[in-house]
Amino acid sequence: MLEDLWSEYTGKQEEIPTGISFTEFYDIIELITLRPNISYEDRLKRIANEIKDKKIDVSAHKKMLDFALKLPPAKFDIDNIDKEKIDQFNNVYKEFVATSRNICMQNYESTDSLSDQDCVQIVMGLFTNSAKQQILKNSIKKNVASKFPDKQEYNVSDLITKIKEFESPILTTNFDVYIGKSIKAKRRILSPNGNQYKFTDFYPWNVYYGINEIENPLDGFGIWHINGLTDYPRSIRLGLSDYMGCVERARKMIQSDGFNELFDGKNRNNWIGYNTWLHVIFNKDFFIFGLALEENEVFLRWLLIQRAKYSQMYDKRLKGWYIDNNISPGKKFFLEQLGFEVIEIRDFNNLYQCFTGI
């Protein structure tokens, strides 16, 4: 998939070198994508240059004209203008409105409820670096989401079914939703009560795949996608800035007020993360396998550190096991300091067989 994305965004057929993480690869793609869009901004500036020194009646399109004039600051007399220039501006405005609505439809929900002026104002935000980058990032994420196949080459349904029998939640870093669909689970949203977490397609942390509805994440089986899922392309965590954004959002949820900071509030139903997978992090023993937990997994590593602090501070004695077949001494030391027992195995297939044979 990396070679396909590289070819699509660079036009080059090259083999991707080993050793690069997906996070690093995505950050490079994002940088490459931003470069040609400077010319797009320049094109709209040229439109403004064509009309900046004209005399025009702006009663019908004052906001649009103000926007155009602000690109290169200019002053001019608006007392008189010929009809040809008015028609020219009207055509430019109509084209801009149509383009604005199309961009909004690709990046926002409920676009039908937006007026033309709403769409124009949203797209005006493209001329701030943060908004422009977000639109481009969303476009890349939608493209990445479309690359995931509907089926995987391996069959995990037996393993997932066995875990379901234990009524245990699954936290996965996979973007694709195949493991849920492999057992015919349905996508569900754990609705908030009071001040609990409200759904957003950018951070769908209260969304899970399950056979049955549950009242909280500890109640029973559910598959939770902590790094986002392809059902909501904007939720996919790809670059380092995405992971840092998750850290900041989770930090505010975990430590945002005196109650959560001073008391063991994260095991109660009156903290904001009660209806999200974060509730599992701080209230369940962990059994981790099939996850490299490399340095680029900034968000998950940070969460495990917060979990260890929480466990020690309130004497929760949360347990953890990390299964690997080729772990470095440094990573083993790191995990053991977080309270995990490291179990080294030769072959993961044996682990899967043990699970399904129970």
For residue 276, what pLDDT is reported? 96
The answer to which of 26-30, 59-63, 208-212 has the lowest mean pLDDT is 59-63
pLDDT in tens, 30-49: 667 665 554 445 544 544 45
For residue 127, what pLDDT is reported? 54
Q: Is the pLDDT of residue 50 over 50?
A: no
Residue that the structure tokens 């801009």 belong to: 96
For residue 284, what pLDDT is reported? 93
Burial degree of 341 (CB within 10 A; 0-12, 13-18, 19+): exposed
pLDDT in tens, 317-347: 899 999 998 899 989 999 999 999 999 988 8
- What tokens appear for 315 in the block? 């004497």
Q: Is the pLDDT of residue 281 over 70?
A: yes
Distance CA 121, CA 126 (A): 9
The answer to which of 51-65, 195-209, 287-301 has the lowest mean pLDDT is 51-65
For residue 82, what pLDDT is reported? 59
**What band does 28 get if pLDDT is binned at 50, 70 and 90?**
confident
For residue 53, what pLDDT is reported? 45
| Contact criterion met (CB below 8 Å) for 321 and 288 | yes
Residue 289 DSSP code: E
Which residues does 291 contact at the CB level (< 8 Å), separation at least 6?
173, 297, 300
3-state secondary structure of 353: helix
Q: Which residue has the higher pLDDT, 200 or 110?
A: 200
| Contact criterion met (CB below 8 Å) for 310 and 293 | no
Q: Which residue has the higher pLDDT, 54 or 127?
A: 127
- What tokens appear for 133 in the block? 């980058």
Distance CA 321, CA 336 (A): 9
Position 63: which residue type? K
Residue that the structure tokens 């709209």 belong to: 44
Number of helical H runs and strand E runs in the chain: 15, 7
pLDDT in tens, 145-167: 777 766 654 567 888 888 899 89
**What band does 5 get if pLDDT is binned at 50, 70 and 90?**
confident
Residue that the structure tokens 């973007």 belong to: 175
Q: Is the pLDDT of residue 185 over 90?
A: yes
**What band does 204 get if pLDDT is binned at 50, 70 and 90?**
very high
For residue 75, what pLDDT is reported? 46
pLDDT in tens, 117-151: 777 777 766 555 555 666 667 777 777 777 776 66
What are phi and psi for residue 45, nearest 5 degrees?
Answer: -65, -35
Q: Is the pLDDT of residue 60 over 50?
A: no
Distance CA 318, CA 332 (A): 18
For residue 113, what pLDDT is reported? 76
Mean pLDDT, the chain, rounded, equals 77
Alpha-carbon dihedral angle through residues 175, 178, 184, 189, given to the nearest 10 degrees = 0
The answer to which of 72-76, 95-99, 220-224, 234-238 has the lowest mean pLDDT is 72-76
Mean pLDDT over residues 13-24, rounded? 74
Kindly report the length of the chain: 358
Distance CA 37, CA 40 (A): 5
The answer to which of 129-133, 203-207, 269-273 has the lowest mean pLDDT is 129-133
- What tokens appear for 131 in the block? 């908004």
Closest listed residue to residue 281, CA positions, set 268, 259, 300, 296 = 300
Q: Is the pLDDT of residue 228 over 50?
A: yes
The Cα angle at residue 92 between residues 87 and 94, in degrees rounded to 5 = 95
For residue 108, what pLDDT is reported? 62
Closest listed residue to residue 143, CA positions, set 24, 14, 16, 30 = 30
Distance CA 302, CA 263 (A): 20
Which residues does 132 contact at the CB level (< 8 Å), separation at least 6?
37, 41, 125, 126
For residue 122, what pLDDT is reported? 72
Which residues does 238 contact at the CB level (< 8 Å), separation at least 6?
22, 23, 26, 140, 141, 144
For residue 341, what pLDDT is reported? 97
For residue 107, what pLDDT is reported? 64
pLDDT in tens, 63-104: 555 555 554 444 444 455 556 666 666 777 788 788 878 877
